[in-house]
Amino acid sequence: MTFPVAGVDERIAGPDEVLQVARGIATAVAPASGLTDVQASLLQAVTKAMTGYEIDYSQLDGLGSDELALVLCERDHPYRQRIVQHMVLGELVLTPLPEDVAERVSGYADALGVDDDFVQVARKYSRGALGLAWVDLRRSGFLDRWDDDRLVPLHTASSMADPWDEAPPDPALEARWRAFAELPTATLGRAVMEMYRARGFQLPGTRGAASAYLAQHDFVHVLADYGTTLEGELEVFAFVGRADPDPKGFAWLATMVGLFETGYISVQGPFAVDVRERHLRTPGMPARVPDALRRGKSVCERFGRDLFTVDFHAIAHRSVAELREELHIPPKSDEVLELGSPGVFDPGGISERQRLAGSRTEASDRVASA
């Protein structure tokens, strides 16, 4: 089948198309026993967040790959690739991931003319090749896009071959971050420093801290108003990944799901696997992650830049409210606010471990200033 390259995706999907796409996604990702509750609730929320239509994924008839290709025959490649990535998200929450599901999703991607690296990552997960899967995910999602230009907005003297690597101490970078504390209240830099102080986070540039590149997402925690619990990390990286015009931004969400939902990834950068709770099963989370995708999509369409390439240092002196407007960050939906998506400075937006670390930092600061 021949698909258009571009030019039609401004057309808003109508209810029939949304239903047919939902049928195709559900058919592609369903295990032999049928969609799991997590799959159904997550995909339902994604569909509602992205299209406004409510689809009950537990009550759908099947739709084959060739039929879905006909439904999407007038959609361009980026649109179809996002549909395939919704399939990948639907299969990545399965533990274990059945090999027949991964092969089926691969078949749907082929029918849609989409060669997406994350489809192959999921296939390796299904075969138990977790190490190889992470190598592919790391390469396709991060290293293939890494170049020296990405160092410019980070203001670090450290050369960085891999954005996930721990960087050596960088006193000038540490001083830059520390200076944010002197900015006026309600500015981005001051808010980020207050977030760090409350949690006892180490400043970029100090030994053992996150790299200056990964620290970029902390500015987004403040701007998008997501907490720093594991649930908040899932939200912020869903937001960041979907805000990226390059579909490879999906790697952020795929990585966080692997760390905090399925355990397919053991450790990466400052993040270590934590599946003591299934975080996407936490009440409200099947809606909170899709709402973050919705908000990221709005930023992608109206701002149109990977947020990790923004020079947040240059705008740290500006107000958070002003920057939210400039970046076209829409508010959280009323639904997820009612479900309990805490903001970065809400009590529920900080873990108990982080709270204790922040208390120790404040105590040390008081002693040092006495």
Structure confidence by residue, pLDDT tens digits, 263-311: 998 877 778 777 777 788 889 999 999 999 999 999 999 999 999 999 9
Mean pLDDT of 33-38: 96
CB within 8 Å of 33: residues ≥ 6 apart: none
Whether 6 has a pLDDT exceeding 60, the answer reads: no
pLDDT tens digit string along 79-108? Answer: 999 999 999 999 999 999 999 999 999 999
Contact 173, 212 (CB under 8 A): yes
pLDDT at 8: 43
- For residues 300 and 242, the answer to whether their CB atoms sit within 8 Å is yes
For residues 136 and 139, give the distance between their C-alpha atoms in angstroms, rounded to a whole number.
5
More confident residue, 162 or 321: 321
3-state DSSP assignment of residue 319:
strand
59-85 as b/e: b if 16+ CB within 10 A: ebeebebeebbebbeebebebbbbbbb
Beta bridge partners of 267: 272
Q: Which of 209, 206, 216 is nearest to 150 (CA)?
A: 216
Q: Residue 1: which pLDDT band, with cuts at 50, 70 and 90?
A: low
Distance CA 286, CA 44 (A): 9
Q: Please count the CA atoms within 13 angstroms of the CA of 312 that sit on its side-chain side.
A: 30
The per-residue pLDDT for 157 is: 83
Tell me which of 156 and 110 has the higher pLDDT. Answer: 110
Q: Which residue has the tokens 């994350």?
A: 118
Q: Are 156 and 170 in contact (CB under 8 A)?
A: yes
Q: Is the separation of the CB atoms in 214 and 349 below 8 Å?
A: no
Tokens 């919705």 correspond to: 294
SS3 state at 215 = coil
The DSSP bridge partners found for residue 271 are: 268
- pLDDT reading at 219 higher than 90: yes
Q: What length does the chain have?
A: 370
CA distances from 74 to 11, 42, 217 (A): 10, 27, 36
The most confident of the ranges 8-12, 208-212, 297-301 is: 297-301
Confidence band, pLDDT 50/70/90 cuts, at residue 368: low
Q: Which residue reads 């609730």 in tokens?
A: 41
Query: What is the SS3 assignment for 103-115?
Result: HHHHHHHHHCCCC
What is the crossing angle of helices 15-29 and 37-51, to 10°? 150
For 272, list phi and psi in degrees, rounded to 5.
-120, 150
Q: Residues 136-192: pLDDT tens digits? A: 999 999 989 888 888 899 999 877 777 777 788 999 999 999 999 999 999 999 999
Mean pLDDT of the chain: 93
Kindly give the residue spans of alpha helices, DSSP state H, lying in 209-249. Answer: 216-224, 230-243
35-44, 49-58, 101-110, 358-367: which range is least confident on average?
358-367
